[in-house]
A = this chain, B = another copy of it.
Amino acid sequence: MGLVVQKYGGSSVANPERIKKVADRVASTRKKGHSLVVVVSALGDTTDDLLELSRQVSKNPSHRELDMLMSTGEQISVALLAMALHEIGCDAISFTGGQVGIRTDSAYTRARILEISTNRIREELEKKRVVIIAGFQGISSQQEITTLGRGGSDLTAVALAKALSADSCEIYTDVEGIFTTDPRVAKGARKIKKISYEEMLELASSGAQVMQSRSIEVAGKFNIPIHVRSSFSDKEGTWIVKEDSSMEDVLIRGVSLNKNEAKVTVSGVPNRPGVAAGIFRALAKTGINVDMIIQNIGKSADTDISFTVPKGESENAVRSLGALRGRLKFKEVSLDPNVAKVSVVGIGMRSHAGVAAAMFEALGKKRINIEMISTSEIKISCIVKKSDGEKAVRILHDEFKLGKKEGR
C-alpha cells in the first residue's frame, strides 16, 4: 500500500465508455488500499477541436487566451471521471491545476511548474478520496491560467509524484509500453521491461513519442520510477528507472525513427571564423530548433554546412538564411525534406566500442547511404533517405538482435 499517481492520456478518455473503463481501473487500484492521485488529459480530440475554434476567430491568438481556452479540455475530463467514479461507488473529487496550487511561471502555452502546494490534495487523500487533477495546466502568481505545452499532462503527473513523494507514477497510454522499435515498422519489436531515464530521453528525442521529454528529465532528476503501460490491458508495461549495472549488459536498448525532420544545406560557405556562428545565431533568433549539424572543413576556401530542423520550421529556416546571404557570402541554401533519422540508443554503448562501426557496416551492406551522422554517449543517429528509413530500422533491429529475448 502506498501513494500512486496515475496519468491517463487523451486516447484513454476519448469518450464516455472509455472514461468508465478508466474509472473501473482507478477503483480497482483504490481497492488494493493505495492512495490515489489521478491526472487526466483532455478527451480524445478536444484539444484539436478547441484549437480549430480559435483558428476560426483569430489568425494569431494571444497565448494567454489560448491557455484560457485549452485548459477547459482537461477540466471537462476530470469532472466526468469523478462522476464515473461516484457512479461505481468510489469516492473521488476533481480539481483544476489552479485549485490544487500547481504554480507556474507566466510563459503561456509552455509554462514551467515552479511549485506544487500539496495541502489540499493531502486533505482529500486523508478522506480516502481519489484525487483527480487536470493535467497540462497550472496557475501563475497573478492567478492566470497557464498550460505546460504538448504532452504537459505527463509533466503534471511526474511533478505531482515528486511533490507527494509518491511510491510510483503510472503513465497510461494506448500502447503497451516502450518497444525496441515501432512494431508497425519491425514485426519483431519487443516490449522493453526496464529502461533508464537517459535511454528513454534519447529515444523520445529521436522520435519515439510515448512520453514528453521534459517529464522524463524531471523524473530522472528526482529518481521517480515511471511505469508506462496500456489503459486497455492489465499487462506490465515498461519501467523507466535509474540506470543500474545490469542494464549495461544490453548494448542497444532500442532503435527509433524520426521522419519529421528536414535537412538544410548551406553551400559555398567561406571557410573563416564566425560564419557558422552567424548562421546559427540567426536561426536561434527566429526560435528554430536545430537538431543535427555537420560541417566538412576541407582545405578549400569554401565549405558546406548541413543541419536538420523540424519539418514545420524548415521553410522558415531557409527564408531566414536567404536573407543573410549578402552578409555571410555563402553560395546557396537548399532544402531536402525527404530524409529520415534512424537512431540506436543504449547505455551499454558507453562501455562497448564498435557500435558505430557495426551500425554503418550493417547499413552499408544493404546499400543504404548515410548522409549525416551524429553521436552522443549513448546514441548514434544517421540521416538517410526517407525511403530508406523503415528498412534501416529493420536492418539495425536485426543487427543488434533486439527481437530476441537476449535483446532486452
Among A19, A83, A86, A87, the most chain B Cβ lie within 10 Å of the Cβ of: A83
Q: A86, B99: Cβ atoms under 8 Å?
A: no
Which residues of the partner chain B approach A82 to less than 8 Å between Cβ atoms? 62, 65, 68
Which residues of the partner chain B approach A145 to less than 8 Å between Cβ atoms? 96, 99
Which residues of the partner chain B approach A20 to less than 8 Å between Cβ atoms? 57
* Closest CB in chain B relative to A204 CB, distance in Å: 30
* Closest CB in chain B relative to A264 CB, distance in Å: 32
**Interface of A, helix, strand, loop or mixed by DSSP:** helix
Interface residue stretch chosen among A73-81, A278-286, A330-338, A366-374: A73-81
Contact pick for A72, options B57, B62, B65, B76, CB 8 Å: B76
Interface status of A16 (Cβ within 8 A of chain B): yes
Q: B83, A57: Cβ atoms under 8 Å?
A: yes
Q: How far, in whole Å, are A61 and B75 apart by their CA atoms in the complex?
A: 15
Interface status of A271 (Cβ within 8 A of chain B): no
Which residues of the partner chain B approach A17 to less than 8 Å between Cβ atoms? 56
Closest to A50 in B: B76
Interface status of A94 (Cβ within 8 A of chain B): yes
Can you tell how many copies of this chain the complex includes? 2
Closest to A93 in B: B64
Closest to A61 in B: B83
Interface status of A241 (Cβ within 8 A of chain B): no
Q: Mark A1-25, 1 if CB is under 8 A from B, else 0.
A: 0000000000000001101100100
Interface status of A54 (Cβ within 8 A of chain B): yes
Q: B86, A61: Cβ atoms under 8 Å?
A: yes
Interface status of A66 (Cβ within 8 A of chain B): yes
* Closest CB in chain B relative to A145 CB, distance in Å: 8
Contact pick for A57, options B61, B66, B84, B93, CB 8 Å: B84
Pairs of residues from A and B, 10 with the lowest C-beta to C-beta distance, nearest first: A16-B56, A69-B79, A72-B72, A58-B83, A68-B79, A57-B84, A61-B83, A58-B87, A65-B82, A65-B79
A residues at B contact (CB < 8 Å): 16-17, 19-20, 23, 50, 53-54, 56-59, 61-62, 64-66, 68-69, 71-72, 75-76, 78-84, 86-87, 93-94, 96, 99, 143-145
18 contacts between A and B (CB under 8 A): A16-B56, A50-B76, A57-B80, A57-B81, A57-B84, A58-B87, A62-B82, A62-B86, A64-B93, A65-B86, A66-B79, A66-B83, A68-B78, A69-B80, A69-B83, A72-B72, A72-B75, A96-B145
Given A64-B93, A99-B145, 12 other A-B residues pairs in contact with their CB atoms under 8 A? A16-B57, A54-B83, A57-B80, A58-B83, A58-B84, A62-B82, A68-B75, A68-B78, A68-B96, A69-B76, A69-B80, A72-B76
